[in-house]
């Protein structure tokens, strides 16, 4: 069983919990996931099964999109509503006040990761230190916010919703926290839905309950998305029977003989067998095709 399950992660589950449940359902140990979600978050969680786990760290599209609910006038130690409230303040902000600030948080910006995060400092996870009541200095990290829009806001409650598209490694609760600080009243995240991850959208997701139904009838394999979907924008190379055999045996193939003229080593190719089965990714070096990642 090899492929990708696009799971709509339920609230209260860690990403590890989802992987553990699927190991039991699918009766396989070889499962990984991309883009960790906090327990309070829901939404798109790509899960990789079998040989597809080799793709976890090489996906060409690592961007994410979120629908984030927030409340102004409060700050917590976790920067969301699950934490301990540290400060409260009166809120006198309008939607126009918020929208006027948003341009400062778009594009390439520097973000200080929150203490309650999996970032490591001197070999220790920040959340481990935070649970001990220890706060350490964190280096700002460069992230990219492709879009940031205010979807709705209530001046009477100080609550609203942001739509955010961003690069890998962006902390949405930190964006909300920093917007709250800039407004002078503080703010925290109250809910988070990931709507897009690594090229997959919420509409493509299935629930754990749906996977269980298919697993009960030994048909869960029907749900798997082929791993080559991740790389569909890369150029394809189709080998004949002779070259397929040589490639599988690790024999060098001369690029020109299989009609590859590109000499840029950074270019990746999808390699298909004579039966048009996806075998993996390769690149050209010194005129020869070299295996980058094998999925066969």
The CA-atom distances, in angstroms, between 46 and each of 64, 75, 258 are: 12, 31, 34
Beta-carbon count within 10 A of 209 CB: 8
Cα–Cα distance measured from residue 268 to residue 263, given in angstroms and rounded to the nearest whole number: 11
CA 106, chain centre distance (Å): 19
The token duo for 260 is 């590859």
Cα–Cα distance measured from residue 49 to residue 55, given in angstroms and rounded to the nearest whole number: 10
Q: Could you tell me what percent of the chain has a pLDDT over 90?
A: 73
In this prediction, residue 77 carries a pLDDT of 92
Q: Are residues 69 and 193 in the same domain?
A: yes
- The model's pLDDT over 211-223, given as tens digits with 9 standing for 90+, comes to 999 999 999 999 9
Cα–Cα distance measured from residue 117 to residue 126, given in angstroms and rounded to the nearest whole number: 6
Q: Are residues 75 and 191 in the same domain?
A: yes
In this prediction, residue 107 carries a pLDDT of 97
Q: Are residues 252 and 180 in the same domain?
A: no
Residues 6+ apart with CB under 8 A from 154: 160
Residues 110-137 have a mean pLDDT of 78
In this prediction, residue 272 carries a pLDDT of 95
Residue 274 falls in the annotated catalytic set:
no
Bridge partners, residue 121, by sequence? 124
Q: State the angle between helix axes of 15-26 and 208-216 in degrees (0 to 180), rounded to the nearest 10.
A: 10
Query: How many folded domains does the chain comprise?
Result: 3
Q: Are residues 203 and 109 in the same domain?
A: no
CATH number for the domain including 252? Answer: 2.30.130.10
Q: Are residues 274 and 204 in the same domain?
A: no
- The model's pLDDT over 170-198, given as tens digits with 9 standing for 90+, comes to 999 999 999 999 999 999 999 999 999 98
pLDDT at 126 over 80: no
Question: Tokens 């029977």 sit at which residue?
Answer: 241
Residues 6+ apart with CB under 8 A from 197: 34, 35, 43, 44, 45, 46, 64, 65
- The model's pLDDT over 65-120, given as tens digits with 9 standing for 90+, comes to 999 999 999 999 999 999 999 999 999 999 999 999 999 999 999 998 887 777 77
Q: Are residues 161 and 244 in the same domain?
A: no
Q: Are residues 162 and 216 in the same domain?
A: no
CATH number for the domain including 77? Answer: 3.30.2350.10
Determine contact, residues 50/30, Cβ cutoff 8 Å: yes
Cα–Cα distance measured from residue 177 to residue 187, given in angstroms and rounded to the nearest whole number: 5
Beta-carbon count within 10 A of 135 CB: 11
Q: Are residues 162 and 118 in the same domain?
A: yes
Q: What domain range includes position 23?
A: 3-59+199-227
pLDDT class for 6, splitting at 50, 70, 90? very high
Question: Helix, strand or coil for residue 265?
Answer: coil
Q: Are residues 30 and 127 in the same domain?
A: no
| Domain end among 151, 182, 197 | 197
**Annotated active-site residue in 17, 38, 97, 218:** 38
Strands 159-166 and 64-72, how do they pair? antiparallel
Torsion 66-71-75-81 (CA) sign: negative
Q: Are residues 193 and 154 in the same domain?
A: yes
Q: Are residues 80 and 155 in the same domain?
A: yes
Q: Are residues 162 and 47 in the same domain?
A: no
């Amino acid at each position: 069983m090899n492929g990708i399950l696009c799971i709509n992660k339920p609230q209260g589950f860690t990403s590890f919990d989802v992987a553990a449940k699927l190991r039991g359902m699918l009766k396989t140990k070889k499962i990984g996931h991309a883009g960790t979600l906090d327990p309070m978050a829901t939404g798109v969680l790509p899960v990789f099964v079998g040989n597809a786990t080799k793709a976890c760290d090489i996906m060409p599209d690592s961007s994410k999109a979120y629908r984030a609910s927030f409340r102004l006038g409060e700050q917590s130690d976790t920067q969301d509503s699950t934490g301990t409230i540290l400060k409260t303040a009166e809120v006198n902000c309008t939607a126009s006040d918020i929208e006027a600030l948003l341009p400062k948080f778009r594009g390439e910006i520097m973000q200080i990761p929150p203490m309650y995060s999996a970032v490591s400092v001197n070999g220790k996870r920040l959340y481990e230190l935070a649970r001990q009541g220890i706060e350490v200095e964190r280096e700002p990290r460069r992230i990219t916010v492709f879009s940031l829009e205010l979807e709705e806001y209530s001046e009477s409650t100080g609550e609203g919703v942001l739509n955010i598209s961003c690069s890998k490694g962006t902390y949405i609760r930190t964006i909300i926290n920093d917007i709250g600080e800039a407004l002078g009243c503080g703010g925290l995240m109250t809910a988070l839905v990931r709507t897009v991850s690594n090229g997959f959208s919420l509409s493509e997701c299935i629930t754990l309950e749906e996977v269980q139904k298919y697993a009960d009838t030994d048909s869960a394999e029907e749900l798997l998305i082929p791993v080559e979907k991740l790389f569909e924008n890369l150029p394809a190379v189709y080998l004949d029977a002779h070259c397929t055999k040589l490639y599988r045996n690790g024999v060098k193939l001369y690029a020109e003989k299989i009609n590859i003229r590109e000499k840029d080593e950074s270019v990746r190719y999808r390699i298909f067998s004579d039966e048009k089965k996806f075998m993996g990714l390769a690149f050209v070096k010194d005129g020869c095709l070299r295996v980058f990642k094998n999925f066969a």
